[in-house]
Structures are given as structure tokens and as C-alpha cells.
């Protein structure tokens, strides 16, 4: 890579100690102008209007990694980041710290910020998944509502096997003026009963098949 090419071009015995290597490396890849610009970005860091806390924190850490020799202390890191947040997020940190966040130990401050960042990222991911599912269900519902309902099934008209009328065979009044609702699911029993009824003198109408049973 670029670092290896640079090292191979260095004059012989120009680097004798680890300190020499670090110093030359920084001067080559982190010139003072770049370092100054990055330090200014870190010092003037501000949370954006449409930026969540965990997004701002990730962006702030990227700046620190981009300039590892910025020279700022950890206390300066946290002080800069805390004061760059909006009032809602500052209050949230103070609540988690049980008071002013910056009055806690540096390690406690780091733990609180890291934990809240992890929780915020997890909540954001869950909300995104929920939004995707809700959108999909809404789309399916709209498609369902836009689909015309199936044509209604026409009711089946019953026809009496005895007289051909528009009623069930067990409700036929031609068999001596009697109906046999108890035989609605037993047509053979109905025929037998109708035959008996006919033999007893109710000869108004003889259903088909009755004559064969007399």
C-alpha cells in the first residue's frame, strides 16, 4: 500500500527508532494542515437537526479515528460531544447519570454513552422492521380491498320429487294434506310413510314408487 511505498523510499538509516518512524509517518500522512482541519471539526462538532443521538455519536467517533493524534483528552472528547447535543438528548443523559453527566467519572460517562448508543441503535432497527411489516400489510390490504368480491352463489331451488312443486318433498301437501318434516333426510322413509298414508285412504296423490310398495 501507500505506507509501504513511502517506507521503501525513505533514505537508508533515516529511521533509527520507533519514535523516528511515528514522527515521519505522521508528517507524511497527517500533515499539519490536515491535522488542523480535523481538530477544528472535532472542536466545532454539532449534532445535526435531523440526526439522532446514536448517528451523531458514530459520526463523532469517525472524526476521532480520522485524527488519532488530535491531542485532546478524553474529558475534552465527552465535554465536546455532550455540549454538541440538543437539549432533549442532554436531558436524557443527565437522567441516566442521575445528575449532570459531566460530573461523573470519565469511565462512567463512557459507559453511559455507549450503553445508550447500543439501545438507541437496537430501537431504531426494530422500528425500521416494524415499519417494513406495516407497509407490506397495508399494501396487501389495499390490494384485497381493490379486488372485486366473487360473484354470489345462487341459491339452489328445491323441487318436490312427489308433485314437482317448489318445496321439499317432506313438505308436500298432496300426500293426504300431511307433511313429514322428520323425514327430511330420509327419502326412502318418506316414500314408505306416504305409502302407508295412501293405504289408509288418503289417496289424493300417489308419489312415484308408492304403487310398487302397495
Helical axes 74-84 vs 53-66, angle rounded to 10°: 140
**CB-facing half-sphere around the CA of 14: CA atoms within 13 A:** 11
pTM exceeds 0.85: no
* Spatial distance between the Cα atoms of 57 and 92, rounded to a whole number of angstroms: 14
Could you list the pLDDT tens digit for every one of the 214 residues in the chain? Answer: 888 887 877 887 788 788 778 777 777 777 777 878 888 999 999 999 989 989 999 999 999 988 877 888 888 889 999 999 999 999 999 999 999 999 999 899 999 999 988 888 888 778 777 777 777 777 777 777 777 766 665 666 666 666 666 666 556 655 555 555 665 565 666 666 666 665 555 544 444 444 444 4
Domains and CATH numbers, the chain: 1-30 (no CATH), 31-140 (1.10.1200), 169-213 (no CATH)
Amino acid at each position: 500500500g501507500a505506507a509501504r511505498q513511502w517506507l521503501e523510499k525513505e533514505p537508508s538509516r533515516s529511521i533509527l527508532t520507533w519514535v523516528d518512524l511515528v514522527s515521519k509517518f505522521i508528517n507524511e500522512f497527517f500533515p499539519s494542515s490536515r491535522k488542523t482541519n480535523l481538530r477544528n471539526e472535532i472542536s466545532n462538532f454539532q449534532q445535526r437537526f435531523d440526526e439522532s443521538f446514536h448517528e451523531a455519536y458514530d459520526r463523532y467517533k469517525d472524526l476521532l479515528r480520522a485524527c488519532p493524534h488530535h491531542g485532546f483528552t478524553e474529558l475534552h472528547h465527552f465535554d465536546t460531544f455532550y455540549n454538541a447535543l440538543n437539549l432533549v438528548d442532554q436531558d436524557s443523559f443527565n437522567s441516566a447519570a442521575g445528575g449532570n453527566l459531566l460530573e461523573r467519572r470519565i469511565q462512567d460517562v463512557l459507559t453511559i454513552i455507549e450503553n445508550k448508543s447500543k439501545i438507541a441503535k437496537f430501537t431504531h432497527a426494530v422500528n425500521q422492521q416494524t415499519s417494513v411489516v406495516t407497509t407490506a400489510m397495508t399494501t396487501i390490504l389495499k390490494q384485497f380491498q381493490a379486488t372485486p368480491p366473487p360473484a354470489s352463489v345462487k341459491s339452489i331451488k328445491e323441487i318436490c320429487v312427489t308433485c314437482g312443486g317448489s318445496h321439499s318433498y317432506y313438505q308436500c301437501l298432496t300426500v293426504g294434506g300431511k307433511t313429514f318434516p322428520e323425514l327430511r333426510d330420509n327419502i326412502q322413509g318418506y316414500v314408505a310413510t306416504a305409502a302407508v298414508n295412501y293405504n289408509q285412504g288418503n289417496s289424493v296423490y300417489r308419489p312415484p314408487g308408492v304403487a310398487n310398495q302397495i
